[in-house]
Amino acid sequence: MKILIEVVIGFVLDMIFGDPPWLPHPIRLIGWFISKGEKLLRKAFPKSQKGEFMAGAVLAIIITVFSFIIPFLILNFLNRLSTYVEVAVASLFCYQILAAKSLKTESMRVFYHLKNQDLIKARKYLSWIVGRDTQNLTEEGITKAAVETVAENTSDGVIAPLIFLMIGGAPLGFLYKAVNTMDSMIGYKNDRYLYFGRFAARLDDILNFIPAILSAYMMIAASFICGLDYKNAFMIYKRDKRNHSSPNSAKTEAVCAGALNVQLAGDAYYFGKLVKKKTIGDNNRNIKANDIKTANKLMYTTTFIAFVILWGVRLVVSGGI
C-alpha cells in the first residue's frame, strides 16, 4: 500500500507541476553520468567493434544497477528514521520519474510558435524534445515531429514508467528511466553509437516490449473516449505497428496516426545524414498544428486510463480489496 500511496502522490504532483526548470532533476544527473562514463570507457576499451560493444555494455550495466541501488538505499535509510519522510521523498522521486505534464508543456510550446508563424522558434523548441535535425523542417515537418514525439513518449515517457513504479516503486522506476535515458543518448544506429549503444538499445527494447503493447491498446480506448477515429486507430496499429527500426516505437505512433487520420514517420535527417524510414498511417489529410493539441489530449486520456487500471491492479495485489 505504501508504494501505491507514493505513486498516487507522484502522479498528482506531475499533473500539477510538470518539470520546473529550477528543480534539480535526478534524470539529468543520470544523463551526466552516462556522458562522463562514455568518455572514460571509450578510452578504457579497444577501438574495435567488439571493444565498443563491451564498453557500451559495461556502461549500461553500471548505470542501470546504480540507478536502482542508490534510491533503494536512500529510501531504506529514510524509512528507518521516519516512514513519513521516506514516503515524502519516494513520492518526490515518483513525481520526477513521470513526464506527462512536461511532455505536454514542451510540445505545446512548439504549437504556440507554429500558430504565431514563428518557425525559427518552433524548430528551436522542437529540437529540445526530438533527436532528429530540425533546422530545415517545414511547418508540416515540425508538426509531424511534435505529434510523433507525443505519441511515442506516451508509452516510454509516461505509461511505461508508471507500470514500473506500480511494480517496484521509485527504485524500479529509476532503473527504467536510466535505461530509457541511455537509449535516447547512445542508442542511435549511426557510426558513433552503432556498437557502443547496442546493448543499451536492446535493453530498452526488452523493458518496453510489454508496456508499448499495453500503451497502444489503452490509446485505442482513449481514441474512443476522445471521439477520434478509434476504428482506424486499431486498423493502423495492426498494420503499421512494426514500421520502425525499434520494435516498440511504432506502436503508439500507429495508434495516434490512425486516430488522427494522418501519416507520420517517413525519412528524416539525423546528425546531418538522411535516414530512410517507413511511414506510419495513411495520408488522408494534411497534418495541422492543431493536431499537436489533439495528440496531447489523446496522451492525457491514455495516461488516466492507465493510471486507473494500474491503480486498481496494484490495490488488488497489495490486498487493499
Q: What is the mean pLDDT of residues 48-56?
A: 95
Angle, helices 160-186/290-317, rounded to nearest 10 degrees? 130
Res. 321 pLDDT band, cuts 50 70 90 = low
Res. 263 pLDDT band, cuts 50 70 90 = very high
Whether 45 and 31 have beta carbons less than 8 Å apart is answered as no
Beta strands 279-280 and 273-275, pairing class? unpaired
Instruction: Please state the domain count of the chain.
Output: 1
Q: What residue numbers bound the domain in which 264 lies?
A: 2-317
| Closest to 185 (Cα-Cα) out of 315, 2, 30 | 30
Res. 91 pLDDT band, cuts 50 70 90 = very high
pLDDT at 89: 96
pLDDT tens readout for residues 175-188: 999 999 999 899 88
Share of the chain above pLDDT 70, in %: 99
- Which three-class secondary structure state does DSSP give residue 305? helix
| Distance between CA atoms of residues 289 and 271, nearest Å | 25
Is 80 exceeded by the pLDDT of residue 68?
yes
Residue 262 — left, alpha, or beta (φ > 0 → left; ψ -120 to 50 → alpha)?
A: beta
Whether 269 and 275 have beta carbons less than 8 Å apart is answered as yes
pLDDT at 281: 94
Q: Please provide the average confidence, as pLDDT, over all residues in the chain.
A: 93
pLDDT at 34: 96
pLDDT tens readout for residues 97-144: 999 999 999 999 999 999 999 999 999 999 998 888 899 899 999 999
Is 90 exceeded by the pLDDT of residue 247?
no
DSSP 160-181: HHHHHHHHHHHHHHHHHHHHHH
Residues sharing a CB contact under 8 Å with residue 223, sequence separation 6 or more, in sequence order: 229, 230, 233, 255, 258, 259, 298
Q: What is the mean pLDDT of residues 68-82?
A: 95
Is 70 exceeded by the pLDDT of residue 320?
no
| Distance between CA atoms of residues 198 and 187, nearest Å | 6
By the 10 Å C-beta count (0-12 exposed, 13-18 middle, 19+ buried), 38 is classed as buried
pTM of the full structure:
0.91
Is 70 exceeded by the pLDDT of residue 204?
yes
Is 90 exceeded by the pLDDT of residue 268?
no
